[in-house]
Chains A and B, each alone.
Chain A
Amino acid sequence: MRVYLLQRLLIGFITLLGMSIVIFVLLRLAPGNIVDIIFASAGYVDPEDKKALIHELGFDKPLIAQYGSWIVHLFQGDLGKSYHYDVPAWEIIKPRIPVTVELGVLSILVAIALGVPSGIISAVRQDTWLDYTFRIFSLAGLSMPAFWLGMLVILLLVRNLGWVPSLLYISPFENFKDHLLQFLFPALAVGYRSSALIMRITRSALLEVLREDYVRTARAKGQRETLVIFRHALKNAILPVITVIGIEFAFLIGGLVVTETVFNLPGVARFLVEAILSRDYPIVQNLVMFIAVIVVLSNLIVDFLYAWLDPRIRYAG
């Protein structure tokens, strides 16, 4: 098992390293850079000043050197300076991480709360109208653009109640109720969408298990159906469900990009778009790396859980 885990760890590390190269190269391919953006507000570019600024920001160094210094600093915990705001990148990123993490966790909780029960019911009542209803409901969530859902929610709230959740971030220590209200709607919008996959996997995993011999035996022995499902079937169907929850959590952040924008939450995901548009390399690089780390970590956790839950891996190696 240790060999297996070490192997996974190594792979995760290689992935991140490769990712850093890809991100770095992509950003340098982009037309226009921060120097142009800084001059954009002036309405014209003075070639002399531009050269000076390029030098000041270090863009005249070879790409390899720029990449190297980024990675070296990254390992030292130094995220560089935001060109756009002229302050250390970490100062801008740091307060945004808890917002995104909290929204992510709340969304995944919503997704589990919606997806697992509806998946169970759908499986148990396969091909009944209940099954169809739940499947349509969950697929509809998967089909609607998250930002559209968010727009509609805000529109309906403001038109009918003259109220919207606070658009200025409220810290939980300041006012817990308002804080929760602020996160509730975006979490519902994102969680609804993520629940679709969880529901689908729960359903199919359960369907599969329900056909296994031991479940049939239990049924044949006349055990009550609910007992059969909860004692025998669910226990064995849980593995793929956990896997998919892990994967969903990692990929949820994609959905947050637009949702944070619509609900004006000061999170990492929304900031990524703004930083990309202003070509603020240090911020984009580090934010994308941060997202990649979350993805790789979630995958690792899933791997570990798997190893721990699945006896075939637990006892091997």
Chain B
Amino acid sequence: MKEGKWLQILRRVGRFLRRKPLGAAGGIIVFLLVFTAVFADFLATKDPTRTHPAQTLTPPNRTFWLGTDNLGRDVYSRIVYGSQLSLLVGLGSTLLGSVIGGIVGLLSGYLGGKVDLISQRILDIMQGLPLLVLALVMSAALGPSVWNVILAISVPLVPRAARIIRASTLTIREMAYVEAARALGSKEGRIAFHHILPNTLGPFIVLTTAQLGSAILVEASLSFLGMGVPEPYPSWGRMLSVSAAEYAQKAPWLVVFPGLAISLAVFGFNLLGDALRDLLDPKLRRQ
């Protein structure tokens, strides 16, 4: 029985790989990112904060695989550790945004009436600004820290998550099996949890994959503008800010590699998200 289930999952993955080679590539990139973040201590060759005064701005070589920065810190190890921050910000903001959005969406869809009306207007306001602009103002207001950046980036996810959940809740609420459950005396909360949530999973997964990518990008932009996660966390975005720009011409590796790391990570999430979208959106399936 157990073996059968595993085989089934494997077969599914296999089918996904064959049908969606791009999505599969995305999956591999994302896996690599997670792997790097988890095993950073083993993968890094140097302490990411150690300065090597005699070896500043050395080009990539056997000791410093991707060269050193202006303080003589190992770029490779900094990129390895930077993956932790990117992932933390991505996952953190996605989790936070979808939980809050999910609760708001459930409540407003299920309760309807005034609650729905008020929460809809609040969501409108949250959606009224471009992500980066809102994140900028928020991180300026809350001060630079990892959690504040996560909070700031999670905000724009809330309305989108809420809308998806609300829409599904509305349709499902009218459906027969919920009625049946209610008739059988299930508590309202249990109904919401057991019947509505599973049915919204598809669009939700698509949304969160997209969010993971854009969170990493926004964190990078914030850090580039000097309003992101503060030192000493190695952050890809900050690696690209002032110092790298200053030395870009002499030491292009300072600009190229962190930029590649950001682009690749986001690319991975985007590829995966795109494939999932195709897969989960029945209208797009080839007949």
Direct contact of A and B (CB under 8 A): yes
Known contacts A26-B138, A145-B263, A155-B255, A258 near B124 by CB under 8 Å: no
Q: Is B266 a contact of A251 with CB atoms below 8 Å?
A: no
**How many B residues have CB within 8 A of the partner chain?**
48
Binds B, one of A10-18, A113-121, A181-189: A10-18
Closest residue of A by beta carbon distance from B278:
A204
Interface residues on A, range: 35 or more
| Min CB gap A130→B, angstroms | 13
> Which residues of A have CB within 8 Å of B252?
155
Choose among A22, A143, A207 the residue with the greatest number of B CB atoms under 10 Å from its CB. Answer: A143
Q: Is the CB of A26 within 8 A of B130?
A: no
Question: Is the pair B221, A204 in contact by a Cβ cutoff of 8 Å?
Answer: no
- Residue in A23, A146, A296 whose beta carbon sits within 8 Å of that of B137 in the complex: A23
A204, B132: Cα distance in complex, Å: 27
Question: Which residues of B lie under 8 Å from residue A19 when comparing CB positions?
Answer: 125, 128-129
Whether the pair A145, B286 counts as a contact (CB closer than 8 A) is no
Does A29 lie within 8 Å of B141, measured CB to CB?
yes
Q: Which of B236-274 contact A (CB under 8 A)?
A: 237, 240, 245, 248-249, 252, 255, 259, 262-264, 266-267, 270-271, 274
Q: Which residue of B lies closest to A14 (CB)?
A: B121
B203 an interface residue at 8 Å Cβ cutoff? no
Q: In the complex, which residues of chain A have a beta carbon less than 8 angstroms from the beta carbon of B264? A: 143
Closest chain A residue to B135 by CB distance? A254
Q: Which B residues lie within 8 Å of A273 (CB)?
A: 136, 225, 227
Segment 102-154 of B: residues with Cβ below 8 Å from A = 121-122, 124-125, 128-133, 136-138, 140-143
Q: Is B220 located at the chain interface by the 8 A CB criterion? A: yes
> With a CB–CB cut-off of 8 A, which chain B residues contact A284?
137
A-B pairs with CB below 8 Å: how many?
Answer: 148
**What is the bound-complex CA distance between A276 and B135, given in angstroms?**
12
Do residues B213 and A27 form an inter-chain contact, with CB atoms below 8 A?
no
B-chain residues with CB within 8 Å of residue A53 when the two chains form the complex:
none
Shortest CB-to-CB span from A196 to chain B, Å, is: 8
8 Å CB interface, A144-191 against B = 144-148, 151-152, 155, 158-159
Q: A residues within 8 A CB of B132? A: 254-255, 257-258
B286 / chain A contacts, CB cutoff of 8 Å: 126-127
Q: Could you tell me the distance in whole angstroms from the C-beta of B236 to the nearest C-beta in chain A?
A: 9
- Report yes or no: A30 in contact with B130, Cβ–Cβ below 8 A: no
Question: B37 interface residue, CB < 8 Å from A?
Answer: no
A139-B125 contact given A147-B240, A257-B132, CB 8 Å threshold: no
Task: Give, as a whole number of angstroms, the nearest-CB distance from B220 to chain A.
Answer: 5
> CA–CA, A295 to B133, complex, Å?
12
Contacts of A261 in B (CB 8 A): 225
CB-CB < 8 A to B87: which residues of A?
none
B129 and A18 contact, CB distance less than 8 A: no
List the A side residues contacting B21 at CB < 8 Å. Answer: 132
Which residues of the other chain, A, contact B122 by a CB distance below 8 angstroms?
18
Q: Is residue B22 within 8 Å, beta carbon to beta carbon, of the partner chain?
A: yes
Quick check: B267 and A139 within 8 Å, CB to CB? yes
Contact with A along B210-232 (1 / 0, CB 8 A): 00010001001100111100000
Is the pair B133, A15 in contact by a Cβ cutoff of 8 Å? Answer: no
A251 near B284 (CB under 8 angstroms)? no
B171 within 8 A of A: no
By a CB distance below 8 angstroms, the chain B residues around A136 are 22
Q: Is the CB of A31 within 8 A of B128?
A: no
Give every chain A residue within 8 A of B271 (Cβ-Cβ).
Answer: 139
Give the chain B neighbours of A276 by CB distance below 8 A: 136-137, 140, 227
On whether the beta carbons of A151 and B240 are closer than 8 Å, the reply is yes
Q: Are A291 and B270 in contact (CB under 8 A)?
A: no
Docked Cα-Cα span, A255 to B248, in Å, equals: 22
Residues on A with C-beta less than 8 A from B270 are 139, 142-143
Q: Most chain-B CB neighbours within 10 Å: which of A208, A253, A254, A292?
A: A254
How long is the Cα–Cα vector from A166 to B21 in the complex, in angstroms?
A: 43
Q: Which chain B positions have C-beta within 8 A of A148?
A: 220, 240, 255, 259, 262-263
A15-B121, A23-B137, A132-B22 known; A31-B143 Cβ under 8 A: yes
Across the A-B interface, give the 8 residue pairs with the lowest CB-CB distance, nearest first.
Answer: A254-B130, A254-B132, A143-B267, A143-B266, A18-B125, A148-B259, A26-B141, A30-B141
> Can you report 23 residue pairs joining A to B where beta carbons are below 8 Å apart?
A18-B121, A26-B141, A27-B137, A30-B141, A31-B143, A140-B267, A142-B213, A145-B259, A145-B263, A147-B221, A148-B255, A155-B249, A204-B281, A204-B284, A208-B283, A251-B130, A251-B131, A252-B130, A257-B136, A257-B225, A277-B227, A291-B133, A292-B129
Taking A22-B125, A272-B136 as known contacts, 11 extra A-B pairs with beta carbons closer than 8 A to each other, sorted by chain A number, are: A140-B267, A142-B266, A143-B263, A145-B217, A147-B221, A151-B245, A204-B283, A273-B136, A291-B133, A292-B128, A295-B128
